Amino acid sequence: MIRPCPGCGAKNRLPEARLDGAARCPKCKTALLPLAAPVALSSGADFDALIRDSPLPVLVDFWAAWCGPCRAVAPELERLASERAGHVVVAKVDTEALPDVAGRFGIRGIPTMVLFRGGSEAARVSGAMPAEAIAAQLGLA
């Protein structure tokens, strides 16, 4: 996973298996973890590596840019990522850009949020709702 440093902007490679650690930018020493914002996944390989290797639960938001409810739930997911940084990774999969990933999980409507634990689907919820409702329905509360 490539993460830009919030301090200097340098691109840093973080192994998915170490997302529960304390990584720092080698250039400016700014903390890179915990992930306090949703991570946009750009390929099926990135998705697979994150789900397979993350020691933390991964909440994946399946969305599309044209979807009004998806845009409405985006700030709620940002809030959830911020409030639960270090305890859950929030990732975003654009169903238009990665239709193969959405197809593998039978995503029929968006937004759909799927929680993965240990590489397997643990819970799923669809529709726009507040962060508290998402957390409660997925067992993150």
Check if 70 is active-site: yes
Structure tokens at 57: 């639960």
Closest to 52 measured CA to CA, from 103, 117, 122, 140:
117
Radius of gyration of the chain (CA): 15
DSSP annotation string for 13-42: E--GGGTTS--B-TTT--B--S--S-EE--
Check if 25 is active-site: no
Select which of 8, 25, 28, 67 is catalytic: 67
Report how far Cα 91 is from the mean position of its chain's Cα atoms: 1
Select which of 5, 8, 28, 70 is catalytic: 70
Structure tokens at 125: 């919820």
Which residues are identified as catalytic? 67, 70
